[in-house]
Structure 1
């Protein structure tokens, strides 16, 4: 059954629903169940979330009524050796991580993370991605006292997608869990990780406690971490590349990324189709076809966003 957008008192985050039978369920319910589902079921659930987000994006671009939100963006910079996971991104320039966090109270946290990069760099990060003993949430240097499970949802040559569920939180100084102590009504978080910098975007309905959140985050930072405020702005819609509509197939996305990385779209071109085909170990005709389809979908998406 098709997803639908409804007005719900809990706020913007709660506007995302999927229909199961005759009852509506918030996104938090879908994510919390994903921890107990099979691998295939989990993928299906998260694909539903992406589809629902696409509906919400359309509603944001053509709204019936504007819901005013606030985008609080800041960056945390890490010194070498301060965080094992960040160190990998500092040592390998091709690595990039995008993650969406959902946290409605300080006791549990859900994360959908996409890591992209060169195959050799991704292979180096694989062990840490799936190692549930590796602390990736805390900003204080103190380990979280919680239960943490991670599942690999997508494994491609240049991309990994993982789902992490942190539950039974007794103590954890993670950005989303700290924010949940100050902000009611649900909060959505987007995190981008490149090099020594982790960029956070926090979407809230009420900015009255952002000052307290700012002070707390700054005070909680562990040794070797520094905090940089970027902006606090009003927004009426907020799109995420990680949960955007899935118009580009995985095989097309991979070829598109390699083409960009190797300079195919530069002037003059730094690589030919033949060279791309050789690197990807695919027929030239296949590379050409997938690249045309990917660029066509991107062009359609861009045109639709301008309407």
Structure 2
């Protein structure tokens, strides 16, 4: 089995969901279920945030010119429906279905074209970053998949590879990221720069805006990379601690 994790960073005005999330930095959307056939896609998403954020997210799904997952730059004539399954003050659960046309494109459909059937998808949306985790059998042509994806997103989004690895069952050692830290190169570079420039000192010697200017990346991109790096390192630390505290099994 193979795993790919990558992010699409949408330009303003290219994706209504990304625009809504950019207006509410603390809001998040993650997929609970996502499936695709050759001509259909259906998914359940769980959004968290303030009441105002959820209202904007709901509006982006319900009132968009075309389905939010479609990579076409104009209305491609697809039939889509989104329903609210649950709503509280700080959570929103949405069920969406989408029947594509020949001019439509999406990450799952491009993956099916180049990686075959039996592909699993997991997504997380925060700000303008739309992170995809894809697990597939290892057959197909990953290079052709990413070439087709890059062509489909065009100038609307920038693609950033975060991880490419075999799954644990197939990998004898390491996590396939190519770095000792287990971080994507962009995340490791961001973390090193943050440490070197005093971002983690107390009080901070540099703020995220100045650090982003130094690295010549958008502020939102740097914030995203640092958050993902911190998340991965924190989870790795806790996992190591649990392993160390686990009782040994006598031989």
TM-score higher than 0.5: yes
State the TM-score, normalizing by the size of structure 2: 0.62
CA contact (8 A) 1:106 1:169 kept: no
TM-score, with normalisation over the residues of structure 1? 0.51
Task: Say whether 1:86 aligns with 2:8.
Answer: no
Q: Which residue of 2 aligns with 1:230?
A: 162
CA–CA distance in structure 2, aligned partners of residues 148 and 236 of structure 1: 36
User: Aligned to 1:101, which of 34, 46, 49?
Assistant: 34
Which structure 1 segments of 5+ residues have no match? 1-68, 238-302
Give the structure 1 partner of residue 56 of structure 2: 124
Mind listing any 5+ residue stretches in structure 2 that lack a counterpart? 170-241
Q: Which residue is equivalent to 1:141?
A: 73
Q: Quote the residue 1:35 is aligned against.
A: none
Deviation at 1:140, TM superposition (A): 3.8
- In the alignment, what sits opposite 1:188? 120
SS across alignment from 2:148: helix
RMSD of aligned Cα (Å):
2.5
Partner Cα distance (1:124, 1:132) in 2: 11
The question of whether the paired residues in 1 share the 8 Å contact of 2:116 and 2:140 is answered with no
Give, in whole Å, the separation in 1 of the partners of 2:160 and 2:20.
22
Contact 1:140–1:222 (CA<8 Å) still a contact in 2? no
Alpha carbons 1:188, 1:204 under 8 Å: kept? yes
**Cα pair 2:112 2:119 within 8 Å, conserved:** yes
Once the two structures are superposed, residues 124-153 of structure 1 have per-residue CA deviations (whole angstroms, 9 ceiling, x without a partner) of 222223337443012241333322111211
Secondary structure of the equivalent of 1:170? coil
CA contact (8 A) 1:73 1:232 kept: yes
On the 8 A contact 2:66/2:75 being kept in 1, the answer is no
Which of 136, 141, 147 is equivalent to 1:209?
A: 141
Q: 1:156 to 1:141 in 2, by over 3 A?
A: same
